Amino acid sequence: MKKRDAKRQAILDTAYRLFQAQGFDQTSVSEITAQVGGSKATIYSHFPSKEELFVECMMAATEDYILSIIPSLETAEADPEVALRDYGRRFLGYVCSPDIVAVQRLLIAEANRFGIGKLFYDKVTAMRAHVSALLSRFMASGTLRSDDPQVAAEYLRAMLEAEYLEQLLFCARETALSEDEIAAASERAISTFLRAYAPAASVAETH
């Protein structure tokens, strides 16, 4: 995990717990300071505003996933089926995990507050660039048909999330996904994506 100094980590851990329990509005910098120790100046020396602290808390919750997935995307197999099936299982397991579902609910609730939604979206978009880069390599090599890799990355994400994410976000489903469910849903999504972006020659061979 990325090393942070102990005070910064303590601030993030405390703020994350309070934000989850109370929401953004009911959590004050004074309360965070009281639990962490020190002064408000210490908090603001690490985070320019409460909004920035909130976004950093949400991003910290995703950090382990980000740090594990980016190297695998950069060194992915030349075969898109192998690479994307591996990515699909990892992504779906992450985005539908109880902790990350809770983070998404909190972000949706606070998205319109002082640009919080845009701050988080900009950070996540930077991460998604690695997926776009992987798809761009496959398109350049001819193993996927040529198209806009950024749009393709968004379609890929949407396909992976389609079956279960809304059920979890809106509490229509109370139990976490099993590994078998994650694997099966990921397989269906990746198979659909690969058919949609198959090279022209491959499509012609199926007709």
How many CB atoms are located within 10 Å of the residue 41 CB? 8
| pLDDT tens for each residue of 108-133 | 887 787 677 787 787 777 778 889 99
**How many Å apart are CA 146 and CA 200, to the nearest integer?**
9
- As a whole-number percent, the residues of the chain with pLDDT over 90 amount to 56
Give mean pLDDT, residues 183-194: 98
- Cβ atoms of 147 and 138 within 8 Å: the answer is no
For the chain, the structural domain boundaries read 6-56, 62-205
With a cut of 50, say whether residue 2 has pLDDT above it.
no
Show the CA angle centred on residue 8, arms to residues 31 and 97, nearest 5°: 85
Exposure string over 56-92, b if 16+ CB within 10 A, otherwise e: bbbbbbbeebbeebeeebeebeeebeebbbbbbbbbb
Average per-residue pLDDT for the chain: 87
Query: Strand, helix or coil at 81?
Result: helix
User: What CATH number labels 62-205?
Assistant: 1.10.357.10
How many CB atoms are located within 10 Å of the residue 176 CB? 12
pLDDT of residue 1: 37
- Cβ atoms of 160 and 88 within 8 Å: the answer is yes
The two three-digit tokens of residue 201, written as one number = 């020659």
- Cβ atoms of 134 and 150 within 8 Å: the answer is no
User: What CATH number labels 6-56?
Assistant: 1.10.10.60
pLDDT bin (cut points 50, 70, 90) of residue 205 is: low
- Cβ atoms of 96 and 183 within 8 Å: the answer is no
The two three-digit tokens of residue 136, written as one number = 């761009």
